[in-house]
């Protein structure tokens, strides 16, 4: 018997329940999502229990939806495409695509927009909700029209989004892979594809937003910094938004700003790129004298977590720190 002890430990459905669902007509892909395992694992399990398998592709679609949704641009399609690039998956083997999110209501709204009546599944271990679309057509459109491939994280490029829909696409991507720190007037995107993040940076710069591009070797963090810049950003992405297609908690943080963009300025923001670089240099200088991370942090007015984040995200800072530390140790 195949050794699948690890799978059994993380599986969330019993063997009997899996067999019952399959015999009621549920696909192995749908069962796999509910059971927190792969569809291949489900097929192996059914074979081991001598359950007669249906031919692949023989299942009848249980739920209806607009398979051609990603063929036609609209404000909402642009949002959902951006959201999918951040939080979606194109199956490598099966003919399905999936959205995943902890906030159930946004997936319900996406489901409604695409015209589907199918239920969401929840991974009980992680709390994440999953929305599946079993469709060869939808999968092909995402790959062939928009370049959203399986294992997209490090290879994705920005789709050819018409200018009139770009703000909605960016809002979708931000809702999936972005966050805002209002106290520090910073918006951050996180991505694994350097090419995609470079293209995104170019778009933001054209909108006269102050950005900072940080490559930590594994992921890229693209920051928008400054009170005026994040106000301009929010005005842009929330302009003409659908009343249902945005994450409320992020929108509400931006809504704390009561002044207009023209009444604001980035110049006094202590988190500008130049100011941050100066503080990093000051830290290294003080550290080389005091040989204490805590005291150096105290001297320049940052907490220890900020220093640790610099080490993690800024290769140049880490290199210079290592040079100083090596010199001290030899000393």
- Residue range 229-286, pLDDT digits in tens: 999 999 999 998 888 899 999 999 999 999 999 999 885 545 566 778 888 998 999 9
41-53: average pLDDT: 91
Q: pLDDT category, 9, cuts 50, 70, 90?
A: low
Between residues 60 and 21, which one has the greater pLDDT? 21
Rounded Cα distance between 284 and 59, Å, is 63
| Average pLDDT value over all residues in the chain | 89
Share of residues in the chain with pLDDT > 90 (%): 60
Give the pLDDT of residue 3. Answer: 47
Q: pLDDT category, 49, cuts 50, 70, 90?
A: very high
Q: Which of 13-27, 45-59, 134-148, 155-169 has the lowest mean pLDDT?
A: 45-59
Rounded Cα distance between 3 and 273, Å, is 53
DSSP category for residue 92: S
Q: Map residue 122 onto helix, strand or coil.
A: strand
Give the pLDDT of residue 39. Answer: 87
Q: 69-152: what CATH class? A: alpha beta
Q: How big is the CA angle at 46 (ends 41 and 52), to the nearest 5 degrees?
A: 140
The fold of 165-263 is Endonuclease I-creI (3.10.28)
Rounded Cα distance between 190 and 82, Å, is 13
Give the pLDDT of residue 319. Answer: 92
Contacts of 98 (CB under 8 A, 6+ apart): 33, 88, 89, 91, 130, 131, 132, 133
Q: pLDDT category, 93, cuts 50, 70, 90?
A: confident
Q: pLDDT category, 92, cuts 50, 70, 90?
A: confident
136-150: average pLDDT: 94
pLDDT surpasses 70 at 59: no
Give the pLDDT of residue 56. Answer: 63
Rounded Cα distance between 111 and 115, Å, is 6
Give the pLDDT of residue 240. Answer: 83
Give the pLDDT of residue 55. Answer: 64
Alpha helices by DSSP H, 54-103 = 75-87
| 99 in Cβ contact with 83 (< 8 Å) | yes
Q: pLDDT category, 2, cuts 50, 70, 90?
A: very low
Share of residues in the chain with pLDDT > 70 (%): 92
Kindly report the backbone phi and psi dihedral angles of residue 323, in degrees, each rounded to the nearest multiple of 5, phi listed first: -60, -45
Give the pLDDT of residue 5. Answer: 55
């Amino acid at each position: 018997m195949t050794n699948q002890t690890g799978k059994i430990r993380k599986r969330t459905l019993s063997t009997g329940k899996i067999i019952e669902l399959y015999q009621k007509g549920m696909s192995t892909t749908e069962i796999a999502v509910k059971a927190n395992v792969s569809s291949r694992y489900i097929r192996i399990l059914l074979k081991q229990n001598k359950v007669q398998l249906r031919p692949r592709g023989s299942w009848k679609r249980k739920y209806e939806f607009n398979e051609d949704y990603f063929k036609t641009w609209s404000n909402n399609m642009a949002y959902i495409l951006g959201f999918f690039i951040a939080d979606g998956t194109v199956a490598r083997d099966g003919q399905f695509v999936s959205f995943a999110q902890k906030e159930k209501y946004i997936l319900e709204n996406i489901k409604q927009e695409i015209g589907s009546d199918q239920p969401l599944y929840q991974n009980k271990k992680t709390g994440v909700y999953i929305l599946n679309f079993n469709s060869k057509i939808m999968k092909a459109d995402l790959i062939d029209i928009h370049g959203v491939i399986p294992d997209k994280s490090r290879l994705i490029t920005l789709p050819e989004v018409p200018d009139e829909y770009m703000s909605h696409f960016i809002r979708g991507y931000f809702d999936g892979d972005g966050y805002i720190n209002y106290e520090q007037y910073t918006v951050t995107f996180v991505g694994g594809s350097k090419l995609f993040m470079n293209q995104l940076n170019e778009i933001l710069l054209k909108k006269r937003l102050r950005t900072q591009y940080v490559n930590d070797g594994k992921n890229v963090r693209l920051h928008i910094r400054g009170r005026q810049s994040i106000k301009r950003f929010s005005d842009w992405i929330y302009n003409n938004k659908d009343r249902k297609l945005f994450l409320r908690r992020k929108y509400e943080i931006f809504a704390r700003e009561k002044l207009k963009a023209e009444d604001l300025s980035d110049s006094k923001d202590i988190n500008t790129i130049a100011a941050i670089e100066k503080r990093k240099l000051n830290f290294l200088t003080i550290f080389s004298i005091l040989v204490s991370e805590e005291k150096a942090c105290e001297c320049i007015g940052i907490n220890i977590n900020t220093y640790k984040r610099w080490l993690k995200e800024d290769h140049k800072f880490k290199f210079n720190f290592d040079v100083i530390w090596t010199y001290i140790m030899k000393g």
